[in-house]
Structure 1
Amino acid sequence: MQRADLADLNAFVTIAEHLSFRAAAGRLGVTPSALSHTMRQLEERFGVRLLHRTTRSVSLTDAGVRLLARLRPAIDQIAGALEGLAEERERPFGRLRLYATHMAATAVIARVWARFLATYPDVHLEVRLGEAPIDIVGRGFDAGIGPQDRIAGNMIAVPVMGPTRVAVIGAPLYFSRRRTPRVPEDLLRHTCVRYRRHQDGDELDWVFERDGVSQRLSVHGQVMVNNPDLAIRAAVDGLGIAYTIEAQVEPFLRSGHVIRVLEDWSPSFQGLFLYHAGNRQTPAALRALIDMIALDRKADDPAVSVIENPFTADWRGQPAA
């Protein structure tokens, strides 16, 4: 069936429902003469008369009655589908796929997802974690969340977390046996949870800053991980001091599972962004998530100076998969 056939059949159903070319033409937004021409073409194309016409009335032929009986359910289904599509544009619905760094998942998504899903129960949220930049459109994701340096130039970027500070932490049990570090150099006499960004990446140096003075340390310890959540868990279990960010460790600080040290030496680095394809039809579910994150987001401090994100720096410049 050609696309023109569908439009012509819809015109036929509209005429059949009104039994008036003038009323049907008003409903369809065309002139009565144009609608009459459409019907003549349809009848000639299929070689069947569908309507009886006089100057005063319109009625269906037997063939027209049979065709209408078959078309009406199909037309109603199409109309229902289009109405459902319009509802989806206004109401968050369906699957929302996000690609996020571990940091973004913990610091941004996990802060709002319970409230988001409770508010929008028709949304199914899928979160895929990864540290490497990828082509989110090619991989079928609605949006990505991560540092600014991984966002392609044709993407729309929305800030979802302002500059965030480093947090150096350890368990109370660990510090009960060791003297609390007062300056970064003291860490060289401590057991630290070392961090490698990915399988082939370099080990993370710990960066500190105070009063414009920066220090970079290569720490020592028995445990090395490549996952920030695992680094926090190692610290909670008393395996050593971990280097992480405030947003990820807040629950453990509140509960007393860890203690923060060297806070006056803890620098801030650039926050995180949600990025998506630059089109005008942003899915309702994504738009609702962005709005909820914006309400939850803490106000940025414009006076804060930021350093390069040490957890993602070695991905810079690598091509997206």
Structure 2
Amino acid sequence: MVKNNLKDLLYFVTVARERSFTRAASLLGVTQSALSQAIRGLEARLEIRLLTRTTRSVSPTAAGERLLNAIGHRFDEITAELDLLTALRDKPAGTVRITAGEQVIRGILLPRLTPLLKDYPDIRVEFDINYGFRDIVADRFDAGVRLGDTIDRDMIALPIGPPLQMVAAASPAYFAAHPPPRTPADLTHHTCINLRLQSAGGLYAWEFERGDRKLNVRVEGQLVFNTPPGMVDAAVAGLGIAFLPEDEFGPLLEDGRLVRVLEDWCAPFPGYYLYYPSRRQPSPAFSLVVNALRLPAGGAVGPAATPADTIPDPPPS
């Protein structure tokens, strides 16, 4: 009875977290019918419904939410302890889950981790491409990557890239038809390519700095994206000005397919940092991943951004 309860409780936790029998069954390596039968058996033994099922969604009931909060973290602790046992093996093993933007994964994480993965075939790395501010503790990631001035102070943060600079850029064809902006305020008269923030849901206000002056400019245009790659493609196509960290543009600035403007208003800022919660006993696999990503010279996370002036939204046309 105890054995069946533990297995069924694990099944329940997985379904409740994933909000999907399909995804939970895939993670657990069981069929959906076996998973559904196990949950029904658990509910019958407890004599209470734990999940609300519809044709499109699954969500915990009040009783299910209480049970999830009570036991979910205990399964996480068991998993963490089992991972620590890999320290007793000749070769470290286990999965390290990291959430980061696509350009960071392709430009920094994957190149640095490639030698490690070849040397340690039992280490697995799962990448989650995401541009929002993921709660890595709640979402059960081992680490995340953010810009240095956006990391919570209760996290351990290690620099994995040099300082960056924002770039406002558009195609030569766009600037042939529109005079380049001379000040950030001029952007309100241009067609700009907007970025919708995944965390807050609002449009990103472009941030500029020169000397002691800071400005936020809310721009308008025909296009809105929630990730940078589409913004870059749109800028190359002549559809407006994009504003992104310099590394997102790749070689397009050097080869002339994009032209940067307002460079004197784009001050350097802390680059990408790997961040993770403080842990007393990191797994050997995680420690190796951190060491592979660490820059030779360390550095502290930069100070939090100071409040900036705001340029009002442009008037409707």
Aligned partner of residue 264 in structure 2, secondary structure:
helix
Q: How does 1:227-246 map to 2 (within 5 A)?
A: 227-246=227-246
1:106 lines up with 2:106 in the alignment: no
Partner AA of 1:87 in structure 2? D
Equivalent pair of 2:116/2:292 in contact (CA under 8 Å) = no
* Alignment-derived partner of residue 264 in structure 1: 264
2:131–2:227 CA contact under 8 A, matched in 1: no
Distance between the aligned counterparts of 2:169 and 2:214, measured in 1?
A: 19
Flag the 1:112–1:256 CA change in 2: closer, same or farther, 3 A: farther
**TM-score, with length taken from structure 2:** 0.58
Give 1:231's aligned amino acid: M
Offset at residue 174 of structure 1 (A): 1.8
Q: Which amino acid aligns with 2:110?
A: W
Whether the 8 Å contact between 1:151 and 1:275 is mirrored in structure 2 is no
Q: Which runs of 5+ in 1 are unaligned?
A: 1-81, 311-321
Q: 1:166 to 1:301 in 2, by over 3 A?
A: farther
Alpha-carbon distance between aligned partners in 2 of 1:199 and 1:139, rounded to the nearest angstrom: 14
What does 1:100-249 correspond to in 2, within 5 Å?
A: 100=100, 102=101, 105-107=102-104, 110-121=107-118, 122=121, 123-147=123-147, 149-151=150-152, 153=154, 155-198=155-198, 201-249=201-249
How far 1:181 moved relative to its partner?
2.1
Task: Give the TM-score taking structure 1 as reference length.
Answer: 0.57
Alignment check: 8 A CA contact 1:167 1:243 kept:
yes
Amino acid corresponding to residue 89 of structure 2 in structure 1: A
1:248 Cα offset (Å): 1.9
Counterpart for residue 78 of structure 1? none
Cα offset, 1:161, TM superposition: 3.6
Residues 229 and 307 (structure 1 numbering): CA distance in 2 closer, same or farther, change over 3 Å? farther
Q: 1:287: how far off?
A: 2.8
Deviation, 1:145, is 1.8
In structure 2, do the counterparts of structure 1 residues 237 and 83 end up closer, same or farther at CA, with 3 Å as the change threshold? Answer: closer
Question: Is the contact between residue 99 and residue 129 of structure 1 (CA under 8 Å) also seen in structure 2?
Answer: yes
User: Counterparts of 2:109 and 2:130 in 1: how far apart (Å)?
Assistant: 20
In structure 2, relative to structure 1, the CA distance for the partners of 1:198 and 1:275 (3 Å cut) is closer
In structure 2, do the counterparts of structure 1 residues 218 and 167 end up closer, same or farther at CA, with 3 Å as the change threshold? same
Q: Give the SS at the match of 2:216.
A: strand
Give how far 1:134 is off. Answer: 4.2
Residues 269 and 309, structure 1, Cα contact 8 Å, conserved in 2:
no
What does the per-residue CA deviation read over 1:115-147, in whole Å, with 9 as the maximum and x for residues that have no partner? 422442224321113344444344332212224
Conservation of the 8 A alpha-carbon contact between 1:270 and 1:307: no
Is residue 161–residue 295 contact of structure 2 (8 Å, CA) maintained in 1?
no
The 5 A counterparts of 1:22-33 are: none
Question: What is the percentage of aligned positions where both structures have the same residue?
Answer: 30
Partner of 1:273: 273
Q: Distance in 1 between matches of 2:131 and 2:89?
A: 36
* CA 120–157 in structure 1, closer or farther in 2 if over 3 Å, else same: same
Residue-pair matches, total: 220
Q: Structure 1 pair 134/240, CA: closer, same or farther in 2 (3 Å)?
A: closer
Q: RMSD between aligned alpha carbons? A: 3.5
CA contact (8 A) 1:270 1:308 kept: no
**2:91 corresponds to 1:88:** yes
String of CA shifts for 1:56-82, please: whole Å, max 9, x gaps: xxxxxxxxxxxxxxxxxxxxxxxxxx8
Indicate the structure (1 or 2) with the bigger Cα radius of gyration: 1
Contact 1:171 1:236 in 2 (8 A): yes
